[in-house]
Amino acid sequence: MTFADTRTVVIGGSSGIGYATAEQIVSEGGEVVVAARDDDRRTEAARTLGPNATERAVDITDRAAVTQTVTEAEPDYLVCTPAYIPTGMDISEEELRQAFEVKFFGYYYAAEAARQVIPEDGAMVFLSGEAAVTPDPQYFAVGVVNAAVETLVKYLALEYAPVRVSAVSPNVVDTFGMDDTMRDRIASNVPVDRVAEPEDVAAAVCLALDNPNLTGETLRLNGGSNLV
Ligand SMILES: NC(=O)c1ccc[n+]([C@@H]2O[C@H](COP(=O)([O-])OP(=O)(O)OC[C@H]3O[C@@H](n4cnc5c(N)ncnc54)[C@H](OP(=O)(O)O)[C@@H]3O)[C@@H](O)[C@H]2O)c1
């Protein structure tokens, strides 16, 4: 896999899976545009990634800003990772709408902008998550949004073809530095007996960007949790 002579806009690239994806793309010779809201974290991410990284302030719910960021970057690839995750089923309608604003409408805004500039051999990858297919009341809002994202990629894969559009769906990922007790408990519930690292998910994102025969699919990195 090589990303030499390519540019990827990573919305959500200042943290977690988005940052790990930007890191892998840069290590393979690609350019990245890190887009997110928090100035300090975004600037630090771009600085750490090195000279192949630039950064842009954007809130993915602001369609005009997203369109400007993506079209000006003229990327070969687009990656979207942001989420708003209110927990529990007892959430307000406003919180549920905000979950859709960020992760459904935001990704759709970015996709519609990217289609204007992306080359025919380009690709887009969006983050989903296990709660789309395994209901967990704690993750009701993001679960239903993730299911919408997984359906969205099928429609966009057809509409934008030959540009490829896919999703990557992890289960729990250690993006927040979990303690050993929590790590052991989560690992013991999945056949792979480990907790996913952001780099594991980033590798799947890069595969989905790079593989010319993959589109409309959701790659599941759940450690085999659906088997037990
Ligand atoms: N981590 C897990 O265990 C896990 C499991 C299953 C699925 N997922 C999915 O994977 C994705 C990434 O998760 P993560 O753990 O890597 O998250 P993370 O570490 O919290 O990173 C989220 C990134 O998105 C940016 N962001 C958030 N809201 C934004 C907005 N409105 N506009 C622009 N940027 C925004 C954040 O920067 P700013 O806040 O500065 O904007 C940050 O760069 C999410 O969609 C999540 O649902 C994660």
CA distances from 111 to 28, 57, 58, 175 (A): 24, 18, 15, 25
Tell me what the pLDDT averaged over the chain comes to. 97
- Spatial separation of the C-alpha atoms in residues 23 and 167, rounded to whole Å: 19
CA 93 to ligand 1 centroid distance, Å: 21
Say if 82 falls within a structural domain.
yes
Say if 1 falls within a structural domain.
no
Mutational pocket test of ligand 1: of 84, 175, 201, the residue with most ligand atoms within 8 Å of the beta carbon: 175
The percent of residues in the chain predicted with pLDDT above 70, rounded, is 100
Mutational pocket test of ligand 1: of 17, 55, 84, the residue with most ligand atoms within 8 Å of the beta carbon: 17
Query: Does pLDDT of 113 surpass 90?
Result: yes
123 Cβ below 6 A of ligand 1: no
Mutational pocket test of ligand 1: of 33, 37, 134, 152, the residue with most ligand atoms within 8 Å of the beta carbon: 37
The predicted structure's pLDDT at residue 176: 84
**Other CB atoms within 10 Å distance of the CB of residue 145:** 28
Label residue 31 left, alpha or beta by phi (over 0 means left) and psi (-120 to 50 means alpha).
beta
Range in 93-107, 136-150, 171-185, 206-220 with the lowest mean pLDDT:
171-185
Token pair listed for 212: 């010319």
**Other CB atoms within 10 Å distance of the CB of residue 181:** 8
The total domain count for the chain is 1
**Other CB atoms within 10 Å distance of the CB of residue 11:** 27
61 Cβ below 6 A of ligand 1: yes
Query: Does pLDDT of 148 surpass 80?
Result: yes
The predicted structure's pLDDT at residue 177: 84
Question: CA Rg, the chain, in Å?
Answer: 17
Summarize pLDDT for 64-79 with one digit per residue, the tens: 999 999 999 999 999 9
The predicted structure's pLDDT at residue 1: 75
- Spatial separation of the C-alpha atoms in residues 2 and 28, rounded to whole Å: 5
Summarize pLDDT for 10-19 with one digit per residue, the tens: 999 999 999 9
Q: How confident is the model at residue 88 (pLDDT cuts 50, 70, 90)?
A: very high
The predicted structure's pLDDT at residue 30: 98
Average pLDDT over residues 19-45: 98
pTM of the predicted protein model:
0.98
38 Cβ below 6 A of ligand 1: yes
Say if 106 falls within a structural domain.
yes
Q: What is the CATH number of the domain that holds 65?
A: 3.40.50.720
Query: Does pLDDT of 150 surpass 90?
Result: yes
Summarize pLDDT for 170-225 with one digit per residue, the tens: 999 999 889 999 999 999 999 999 999 999 999 999 999 999 999 999 999 999 99
The predicted structure's pLDDT at residue 144: 98
Say if 2 falls within a structural domain.
no
Whether the CB-CB separation of 86 and 96 falls below 8 Å is answered with: yes
CA 17 to ligand 1 centroid distance, Å: 7
Range of the domain at 64: 7-227
SS (H, E, C) the chain: CCCCCCEEEEECCCCHHHHHHHHHHHHCCCEEEEEECCHHHHHHHHHHHCCCEEEEECCCCCHHHHHHHHHHHCCCEEEECCCCCCCCCCCCHHHHHHHHHHHHHHHHHHHHHHCCCCCCCCEEEEECCHHHCCCCHHHHHHHHHHHHHHHHHHHHHHHCCCCEEEEEEECCECCCCCCHHHHHHHHCCCCCCCCECHHHHHHHHHHHHHCCCCCCCEEEECCCHHHC
Say if 158 falls within a structural domain.
yes
